[in-house]
Amino acid sequence: MTLLVIGLSHRSAPIDMLERTTLDQPRSRALRDRLAATQQVREAVVVTTCNRTEVYADVVTFHGGVTEIGQAIAEVTDVDALTLRDHLYVHHEDRAVSHTFSVACGLDSMAIGESQILGQLRSSLRQAQTGQEVGPELNALFQRALRVGKRAHTETEIDDVSLSLVSAGLDEAETVLGPLAGLSVMVVGAGAMSSLAVATVTRAGAREVVIANRTEAKARHLAEAYAARTVPWSHREEALAAADVVITCTGAAGRLVSREAAERTAVLRGRRPQVYLDLALPLDVDPAVAEVDGVTVVGLQRLGELMAADGLVPAQVQQVRDLVVEEVAGYLAARRVQAVAPTLAALRSRARSVVEAELQRFDTRTPDVDEATRRQVELTVHRVVEKILHTPTVRMKEMAGTDVSGSYAEALHRLFDLDPHTVAAVSAATVDPPVDLAEPTPVLEADPAAEGTDTTEPGLNEPGTPELASTGTPEPTSPEPNHPTDLALETTGARHA
């Protein structure tokens, strides 16, 4: 198995490229179908959000998987592969796990620490489970990632950092309009980012906060929480004229505010200064709106530049990074132990079949032996086999995750003539059923990858076998922004991070 993450995000691509590659439901479905038809991809989960399009996959080979996934993304998004390759990043094995956990914690989001990504990951996994496109590798990875993301929000103060994007935009607005206190603010949308915006401007003392959303019930619910008022979606353009600051957070297809609408609004306002803060992707506000006299547009690209220039890493972010490093180390250690479990189970299965055959031979040759003697012979044989298998079993677990574990497993295969089909069958039998993702924030208690579930078959237990305390796994590197190497890959040209 080879774990890959291939995609592009606000860290690797400009806004216009992200808009071109954002997937709606039909295109997301098309990409999943395209991946299912490839030769290299065994499992796949497609994650598409307002600032990322990514494929998480278990593939047969690294280069083959990168090539086929890159081609699939290019075909579905209708972006030339040569153009796309300059913006794609590739994370492989350990770094793929680290990236997944970082995404779940909101560390890779444009609004650092935002929790909406958990719901998006959950939805992506649910779709893959429904389409039977996910198996043991990605199911375990995403279950663990969801749990890590939940830990980040419950055990650290990362939620405070998610306000930084909104705050940076409002700081820009204040440079044009002066303090927010006394100004009128209109928020278009009622999602997580809109809630942050409403909370922030309310605390800043905005004179009036108006919310417009396609689903009016959601707008009313948000407005009631902050003593704001709502306007019908059909009347949103009229409400623009009364707003000094307009914050858009819908990411809907097409532009919600055109240049013509902004021009009409500016005339009604007598050209008084107005700021549009566009936090959506795809963009809600036509970039041409910035050409209207008296209007300033602040978009995600500008905000990204401002936050990058700041260069400060809040303590909360470092807390979550440390948590991710800890979780990645634990996951990789358990994953390596789980990788050798089928070999151990097959070894015990082989031993059991030998014991059963010899006991049948004993019964045939000594039919007159009484039951008590027969049971004593059976117990003795089992004890002998236990003692013989105990040491190689313990050594196998101790060596899991080391450079020689693979050769040791191969040696066991050869020495004990283990049937590859038996090993594969045992491996398949240890797969967990898909997680129930109905709840908005599930507590995923059963996670074999996390707990290092012992898949040893019953019947030949290991009395006194010590628990695997340490695999000697090197501490993984702390997640960082995309740093691709110079390894150019065919067709997609994606770079191995």
Instruction: Give the amino acid at 441.
Output: T
**Angstrom distance (rounded) from CA 376 to CA 381:** 9
**Catalytic position from the list 13, 50, 389, 450:** 50
412 pLDDT above the threshold of 70: no
* Residues making up the chain, counted from first to last: 497
CB 457 within 8 A of CB 348: yes
Active site residue 50: yes
Query: Three-class SS of residue 374?
Result: helix
Instruction: Give the amino acid at 327.
Output: E
* Per-residue confidence (pLDDT) for residue 416, from 0 to 100: 66
* Per-residue confidence (pLDDT) for residue 440, from 0 to 100: 35
Residue 132 in tokens: 């039977």
Confidence of residue 89 (pLDDT cuts 50, 70, 90): very high
* Span 404-417, average pLDDT: 62
CB 432 within 8 A of CB 324: no
Spatial strand order in the sheet of 2-9: 41-49, 52-59, 2-9, 89-92, 495-496
Confidence of residue 343 (pLDDT cuts 50, 70, 90): confident
Of the ranges 18-27, 63-72, 102-111, 455-464, which one carries the lowest mean pLDDT score? 455-464
DSSP 8-state symbol, 432: P
* Per-residue confidence (pLDDT) for residue 91, from 0 to 100: 96
Q: Is 60 left (phi over 0), alpha (psi -120 to 50) or beta?
A: alpha
Confidence of residue 299 (pLDDT cuts 50, 70, 90): confident
* Per-residue confidence (pLDDT) for residue 484, from 0 to 100: 36
* Per-residue confidence (pLDDT) for residue 433, from 0 to 100: 39
* Per-residue confidence (pLDDT) for residue 407, from 0 to 100: 63
* Span 75-88, average pLDDT: 94
Of the ranges 215-219, 228-232, 433-437, 449-453, which one carries the lowest mean pLDDT score? 449-453
Query: Three-class SS of residue 397?
Result: helix
Confidence of residue 439 (pLDDT cuts 50, 70, 90): very low
Between 264 and 158, where is the model more confident? 264
Confidence of residue 220 (pLDDT cuts 50, 70, 90): very high
The pTM for the full model equals: 0.62
Of the ranges 306-315, 320-329, 365-374, 447-456, which one carries the lowest mean pLDDT score? 447-456
* Per-residue confidence (pLDDT) for residue 449, from 0 to 100: 36
476 pLDDT above the threshold of 50: no
Beta-strand (E) ranges in 87-139? Answer: 89-92
Confidence of residue 442 (pLDDT cuts 50, 70, 90): very low
Query: Three-class SS of residue 462?
Result: coil
Confidence of residue 142 (pLDDT cuts 50, 70, 90): very high
- Contacts (Cβ under 8 Å, ≥6 apart) of 411: none
What Å distances lie between residue 468 and 166, 339, 392, 397, CA to CA? 46, 14, 14, 6
% of the chain with per-residue pLDDT over 70: 75
441 pLDDT above the threshold of 50: no
DSSP 8-state symbol, 164: H
* Per-residue confidence (pLDDT) for residue 110, from 0 to 100: 75
Between 486 and 378, where is the model more confident? 378
**Angstrom distance (rounded) from CA 11 to CA 9:** 5
* Per-residue confidence (pLDDT) for residue 134, from 0 to 100: 94
98 pLDDT above the threshold of 50: yes
Confidence of residue 417 (pLDDT cuts 50, 70, 90): low
* Per-residue confidence (pLDDT) for residue 222, from 0 to 100: 93
pLDDT digits (tens, 9 = 90+) for 162-206: 566 788 889 999 999 999 998 999 999 988 788 889 999 999 999
**Angstrom distance (rounded) from CA 497 to CA 123:** 26
pLDDT digits (tens, 9 = 90+) for 355-408: 888 899 998 899 888 999 989 999 998 888 888 888 877 777 666 655 555 566
The average confidence (pLDDT) of the chain is: 80
**Angstrom distance (rounded) from CA 143 to CA 451:** 12
Strand partners, 8: 53
Between 242 and 443, where is the model more confident? 242
